[in-house]
Amino acid sequence: PSIAFNINLLDLVSINMYYLAPNISGWSLTLECFWKEQGYTLGQQNFIKRCFSNAYQWYNILCDAAAGHVDALINTAVVPVTSDQLQDQPQDHPPPVPVVPTEQPQCPLATPAVSPELAEADAHTPCGEPPKHQQVGVGESMPSPSAAMPAEAPHEGPPPTLKLTRPSEHLCKCCPLCFGGVKPDLRTSRYVLAHVLVAIDANLAQKCLKPRFIDITFAHSQTQFIPDKDVKAMEAHVEEMRKTKAKRSLKINLRLPEDILQECQDSFTAANEEQTKSSVVVFADTGLVAMVCRHDHILWVINMTRPGEKQHYTFALLDRLFAHLPDDWTVGLLYDIACQIERSMAKHGILAKFFACLVFAVSVFHAYGHQWPCQLLYHPHKVEGYGLTDGKGCERIWSWLNKLIPSLLHLCRQWVIDRQILHIMKDNLRTLACYIHRKRKACTKCDSKARKILQDHKVPERELREQWQAQVLSQTASLKCIVEQQEWQSRVVKLDKLVREALYHDDDTYVQFVEELESACQTLDALKECLKQKERSLGVLNPRKLANLKGSEYLQPCMNARVVKTRIRKKLVEQKFERARLEKAYEQQVAVSTLVSHFNRLVQELEGLKARGGIPRGVELPMWLEAQELSRMDVDDPIWVDVMGDEEANNGPPRWMSDEAVRACIPALLERDRVKEELEQLQAEEVTLKSWLREEIDRTLVARAGAGGMFHISLDELL
């Protein structure tokens, strides 16, 4: 910088940039106007803009390097363990692990062998550079403390013989509630157990234009970005795995039939096609993909360099997360298309070594885009182990970073985003205890509401759980019996021909063909029985042949109502996915209202038939729909749950469909289960937070004592 500026002024501007949109031009013009009013003229307009911009940038680089150096001193401090500390230590938390200082800062909570991977927060890491950019370290242009920091070692992972016993220091800094201690002892969930919950989402608005000239690209000393080389390596690995044949041994781990998962994929593919993709011709960086914990703390960010949200970004984030976690930790993933991620991992064996350590759920914000059977098994409020976590953390992060979009279309994009992320992490540390208190109040409110519903209806808990399991089994069955029956029938004919040929030629493959034929015949018989059940599901208690139902006065409006409801759901999903003009969204709303009116008329017609005795006794009619309430797209709205069953028993519709008490109590029971899980997680997080705070104070005091009087910080200031 060619002009000296007051450090207090630079501090004020830097803090202002955290909470408002960055605007160097505005501050420069303000200073020029202020000095002009004081009688000082420095030249033409915008004369000090470049000088002030350089001073601001290099001052913050110096501050970041100094902060990284102080953190390294604290992280490498050796905390002596005394007998009193061992006696005061909680039983569910081991004593602090001393750390031996080395040349590169090591993780005090893990083994030293993983230092190249775990110390990336303290390394001067070059971020992914756009085309025509020259990646230049800070030390090459101007001497600074960050120039002495080593570059990040290649991502090779920790040696297999030395394993982590606690999360890495990077994760501990990102979120002490999740990673500040040992593995939490969670016992409320009976089947699904996740020791940590994370969410992943992409933001296609955080783009950067291609530069017209070569300029210096600054890299933050504590960057949260995963290097481009690691992302490209994961992309190549995923493409290679997709070329291999699908493994049948892993397909059995899927919770839904293949046809339902394919429908989910088609719906999201159609929605993405409606969005305007970022062109790589115009933009060097096309967006961001972030991983956050359940407390909205960012763990890592990936810079997107291609249009569209690809699955290899998610796999790169998961691979980095597991490299920083002990082997016995289980991760709960919330993602917009979590069902497709699980499907890809099971089908192609991608990251197969981590598949058993993952549980999947769909973020609440995008659950409406999935098929109803998928929501039953992937909605976080329906899945065990997720508590009240909704997966909206990434959306809140994008809201905080939204103000950076206009100013980051050109240069220094990743450096500014890193500074904003680190400030958010630092600022959130002050409210960790408030977060636990606020969540406990929310749990009390939800539990009281759910308990009141259960007490009003007085349905036994065991019966509710049985009905819930029956609903899940009924509504997650495959719906393509006819197509599958035709395919297997063709296979039976083909195998029968092969058996005859093998028998005629006395071939050795005769036994093999006979076994395959028997297996295919069994599958065909099962599909025929499934088709008969579909025919019985038309609402008639005493099943009759389908030919006798043609032209029925009851069947026509009943089937029309079912089709109209399906169209309403499709329109609602399209309306939620709408990214075009407001007028287009209004047109969708008009179409939905028209379909709702049509559906209600069909229901009214069915009610009239029932009053005249034209409907078999005991048949449950669809519920009326309210157009104003459909916009919520809640998981328990009638638009989802009040659909004619696919398998009605001969003795009447199931209670989860026809009994209003059971229908009201099942969501309340699931809500109470999630509240219990949330309270258990909050209790474990409180213990972890206290332990982390104790260790941080001890290490800070040890580092201060070993600094030789360089720092003058009192214990009261630390507390």
Alpha helices in 537-581 (DSSP H): 546-549, 555-577
User: Does the reported pTM lie above 0.85?
Assistant: no
Residues 111-167 have pLDDT tens digits of 333 333 333 333 333 333 333 333 333 333 333 333 333 334 334 444 444 678 889
Tell me the CA distances in angstroms from 46 to 17, 27, 53, 431, 706, one per residue in order.
19, 10, 11, 40, 47
Q: Would you state the pLDDT for residue 116? A: 34
| Alpha carbons 325 and 184: distance in angstroms, whole number | 13
Q: What's the pLDDT at 197? A: 92
Question: Which two tokens mark 658?
Answer: 């026809």
- How far is the C-alpha of 713 from the C-alpha of 201, rounded, in Å? 40
- For 53-112, the three-class secondary structure string (H helix, E strand, C coil) is HHHHHHHHHHHHHHHHHHHHHHHCCCCCCCHHHHHHCCCCCCCCCCCCCCCCCCCCCCCH
Backbone angles phi, psi at 148, to 5 degrees: -80, -5
Residue 239 has pLDDT above 60, yes or no: yes
**pLDDT of the residue at 575:** 56
Number of C-beta neighbours around residue 122 at 10 A: 24
Q: Which comes out higher in pLDDT, residue 179 or 714?
A: 179
572 CB-near residues (< 8 Å, 6+ apart): 368, 592, 630, 631, 633, 639
Radius of gyration (C-alpha) of the chain in whole angstroms: 31
Average confidence score pLDDT of the chain: 72
- In this prediction, residue 290 carries a pLDDT of 93
Separation between Cα atoms, residue 462 and residue 445, nearest integer Å: 24
Report the 10 Å Cβ neighbour count for 426: 12
pLDDT band at 649 (very low <50, low <70, confident <90, very high): very low
**Span 249-267, mean pLDDT?**
68
Contacts with 505 (C-beta within 8 Å, 6 or more apart), sequence order: none
pLDDT at residue 315, as a whole number: 94
Parse the chain into domains and list their residue ranges. 110-152+165-449, 481-536, 548-645
pLDDT tens per residue, range 483-528: 555 565 666 666 666 666 666 565 556 566 666 667 767 676 766 6
The SS3 call for residue 135 is: strand
| Contacts by residues 402-406 (CB-CB < 8 Å, ≥ 24 positions apart) | 402/205, 403/20, 403/21, 403/22, 404/21, 404/22, 404/206, 405/205, 405/206, 405/207, 406/21
**pLDDT top residue among 481 and 442:** 442
Window from 38-47, 205-214, 571-580, 667-676 with minimum mean pLDDT: 571-580
Query: Distance (Å, rounded) from C-alpha 105 to C-alpha 69?
Result: 10
Lowest mean pLDDT among 121-125, 341-345, 353-357: 121-125
Query: What is the number of other CB atoms lying within 10 angstroms of the CB of residue 240?
Result: 11
Strands (E) in 621-705, as ranges, are: none
| Segment of 129-133, 277-281, 493-497, 650-654 carrying the highest mean pLDDT | 493-497
pLDDT of 76 reads: 79
Residue found under tokens 């234009």: 209
* Res 147: pLDDT: 36
pLDDT at 558 over 50: yes
The confidence score (pLDDT) of residue 647 equals 43
Mean pLDDT, range 291-312, rounded to an integer: 89
Among residues 302, 295, 327, the alpha carbon closest in space to that of 197 is found at: 295
| Cβ–Cβ < 8 Å for 369, 573 | yes
* CB neighbourhood size of 614 (10 A): 12
Most distant pair of Cα atoms in the chain: their distance: 110
Which range in 49-53, 80-84, 136-140, 247-251 is most confidently predicted, on average pLDDT? 49-53
